[in-house]
């Protein structure tokens, strides 16, 4: 009996590692784009003012997120039809092309307007693939999870993203110590992106060894793309509510990781090394809290964890950032972002399995991906640009806290709606049986 259990456990760990590897690459590149935004702005988007240059860079960063809903529907429906394994190899291929493009594009000084145009195309390709990558990975983990541990299993989707941030932050920290600021600005910022390209073949090998989930193999029908579109349209209320539920997790994540280094350097005037170190420690904190959030939701239920964390975010996001803005320092930035990391980690650990559970089974990847992509496009992806714009408009360095609080309000009411709706459907089913 023990001999059978051990290989099964090993195969589960191996499957988690293989499926989340592409998720790692996606977040690795996204974080690098956010952290090196000032250098990317200098290389591809020169403008009359630093603010305008940075805003153009963050706008292109956000444009990739606008492609996510399209990728979610098209690639998500494809994954629901052909299987998780084949679909996730396709998303990885598209993502790799977009990443490689950003590495090799010459500067604006070299090729003029073609330079920012190619960066935009690279970001759009990355966004298109990421639209279904995250949903495909989350659904795969949910479908291989052992009974009563779905929250714990799916938490590793986000956990892989934290590992990506840790490695990206360590690379950035090493570059800051090895190269002069001028060298990093001119060419050094490309090195971490090149590292991302170099690990793509390894991730391909891992993905090719994935096994299809038993739940997908036993499903009788796999809808064509037209059927998938119609099913999503019929369930538009669930998709929109799911989008609002995701709003808090995607906003919090991009605030405390992707935007945090720029916030530390440009707004709080901390050193690049300090900002990177804070981001590294926040990623470690996220990595710890995510599986705890998943396990708590397995034990207590998804709804109590989701409600508690949205209320905490509403009550403390702005005051915490206000405290930081009033006394900017390494230790204060670390303390505030670790608090927001605690909220994000527990919330996301419960939210991902909840989203896989509320979507219709036949379009689970497409539905999950569309809800998540819409939230990222509307909320998370534009968090760096929104935060930069709010600070410029109001003069209040803590104003990004308003954006996170707003996302928490959306998530709070969406959670109430979705669980009231599912309870009502269950009661109706019971009445019809009776």
Query: pLDDT tens digit string along 166-191?
Result: 888 788 888 888 888 888 888 888 88
pLDDT at residue 293 in the model? 96
Q: CA-to-CA distance for 324 and 400, rounded, in angstroms?
A: 12
> E-strand spans in 98-175?
none
Nearest to 126 by CA among 101, 154, 158: 101
Q: CA-to-CA distance for 384 and 401, rounded, in angstroms?
A: 12
Mean pLDDT over 287-309 rounds to 96
DSSP class of residue 237?
A: H
Q: CA-to-CA distance for 340 and 248, rounded, in angstroms?
A: 11
Nearest 5°: the CA angle 296, 302, 304 is: 85
* Residue for token pair 């037209």: 226
The domains of the chain, with CATH numbers, are 19-210+225-422 (1.20.1250.20)
pLDDT at residue 424 in the model? 55
pLDDT at residue 422 in the model? 66
pLDDT at residue 349 in the model? 95
Residue of higher predicted confidence among 192 and 218: 192
The H or E element that residue 198 is part of is: helix 190-198
Residue of higher predicted confidence among 30 and 372: 372
Nearest 5°: the CA angle 3, 21, 277 is: 115
Residue 426: pLDDT above 50? no
Task: Specify the range with the lowest mean pLDDT, choosing from 58-67, 309-318, 368-377.
Answer: 58-67
Could you report the per-residue pLDDT of 235-245, keeping only the tens digit for each? 899 999 999 99
Question: How far is CA 287 from each of CA 155, 159, 280, 300, 344, rounded to the nearest angstrom?
Answer: 9, 5, 11, 20, 11
3-state secondary structure of 116: helix
Side-chain half-sphere exposure of 141, counting CA atoms within 13 A: 35
DSSP class of residue 259?
A: S
Dihedral, CA of residue 284, residue 33, residue 76 and residue 135, to nearest 10: 10
Q: CA-to-CA distance for 131 and 116, rounded, in angstroms?
A: 22
Q: CA-to-CA distance for 53 and 44, rounded, in angstroms?
A: 9
Side-chain half-sphere exposure of 65, counting CA atoms within 13 A: 26
Q: CA-to-CA distance for 339 and 345, rounded, in angstroms?
A: 10
Mean pLDDT over 353-368 rounds to 86
Could you report the per-residue pLDDT of 126-162, keeping only the tens digit for each? 888 888 888 888 888 988 888 889 999 999 988 888 8
Average pLDDT value for the chain: 84
pLDDT at residue 6 in the model? 41
Structure-block tokens of residue 376: 């990222």
pLDDT at residue 127 in the model? 85
Q: Cα 145 vs. chain centroid, distance in angstroms?
A: 21
CB–CB of 343/252 below 8 Å? yes
For residue 423, name the pLDDT band (cuts at 50, 70, 90): low
3-state SS string for 41-102: HHHHCCCCCHHHHHHHHHHHHHHHHHCHHHHHHHHHHHHHHHCHHHHHHHHHHHHHHHHHHH
The residues, ordered by sequence, that sit 6+ positions from 129 with a Cβ below 8 Å of its Cβ are: 26, 71, 75, 91, 92, 93, 94, 95, 98
pLDDT at residue 179 in the model? 86
pLDDT at residue 432 in the model? 34
Residue ranges in 254-329 assigned as alpha helix (H) = 260-262, 272-300, 302-326
């Amino acid at each position: 009996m023990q001999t059978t259990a051990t290989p099964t456990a090993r195969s589960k760990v191996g499957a988690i590692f293989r499926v989340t590897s592409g998720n790692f690459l996606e977040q690795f590149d996204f974080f690098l784009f956010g952290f090196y935004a000032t250098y990317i702005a200098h290389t591809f988007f020169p403008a009359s003012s630093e603010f305008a240059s940075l805003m153009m860079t963050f706008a292109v960063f956000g444009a990739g997120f606008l492609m996510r809903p399209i990728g979610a529907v098209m690639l998500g429906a494809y994954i629901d039809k052909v299987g998780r394994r084949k679909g996730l190899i396709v998303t990885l291929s598209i993502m790799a092309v977009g990443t490689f493009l950003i590495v090799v594009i010459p500067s604006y000084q070299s090729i003029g307007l073609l330079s920012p145009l190619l960066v935009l195309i690279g970001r759009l390709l990355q966004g298109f693939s990421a639209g279904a990558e995250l949903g495909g990975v989350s659904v795969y983990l949910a479908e291989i999870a052992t009974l009563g541990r779905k929250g714990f299993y799916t938490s590793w989707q986000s956990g892989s993203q934290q590992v990506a941030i840790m490695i990206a932050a360590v690379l950035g920290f090493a570059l800051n110590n090895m190269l002069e600021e001028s060298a990093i600005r001119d060419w050094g910022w490309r090195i971490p992106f090149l590292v991302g390209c170099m690990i793509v073949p390894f991730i391909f090998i891992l993905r090719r060894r994935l096994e299809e989930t038993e739940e997908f193999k036993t499903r009788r029908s796999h809808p064509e793309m037209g059927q998938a579109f119609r099913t999503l349209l019929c369930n538009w209320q669930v998709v929109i509510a799911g989008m609002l539920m995701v709003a808090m997790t995607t906003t919090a994540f991009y605030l405390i990781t992707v935007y945090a280094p720029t916030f530390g350097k440009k707004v709080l005037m901390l050193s690049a090394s300090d900002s990177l170190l804070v981001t590294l420690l926040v990623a470690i904190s996220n990595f710890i809290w995510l599986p705890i959030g998943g396990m708590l939701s397995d034990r207590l239920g998804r709804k109590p964890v989701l409600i508690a964390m949205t209320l905490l975010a509403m009550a403390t996001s702005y005051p915490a950032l206000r405290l930081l803005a009033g006394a900017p320092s390494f230790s204060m930035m670390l303390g505030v972002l670790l608090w927001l990391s605690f909220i994000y980690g527990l919330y996301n650990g419960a939210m991902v399995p909840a989203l896989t559970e509320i979507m219709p089974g036949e379009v689970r990847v497409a539905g999950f991906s569309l809800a998540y992509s819409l939230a990222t496009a509307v909320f998370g992806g534009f968090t760096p640009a929104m935060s930069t714009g709010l600070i410029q408009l109001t003069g209040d360095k803590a104003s990004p806290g308003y954006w996170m609080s707003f996302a928490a309000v959306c998530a709070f009411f969406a959670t109430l709606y979705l669980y009231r709706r599912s309870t009502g459907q269950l009661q109706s089913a019971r009445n019809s049986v009776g």
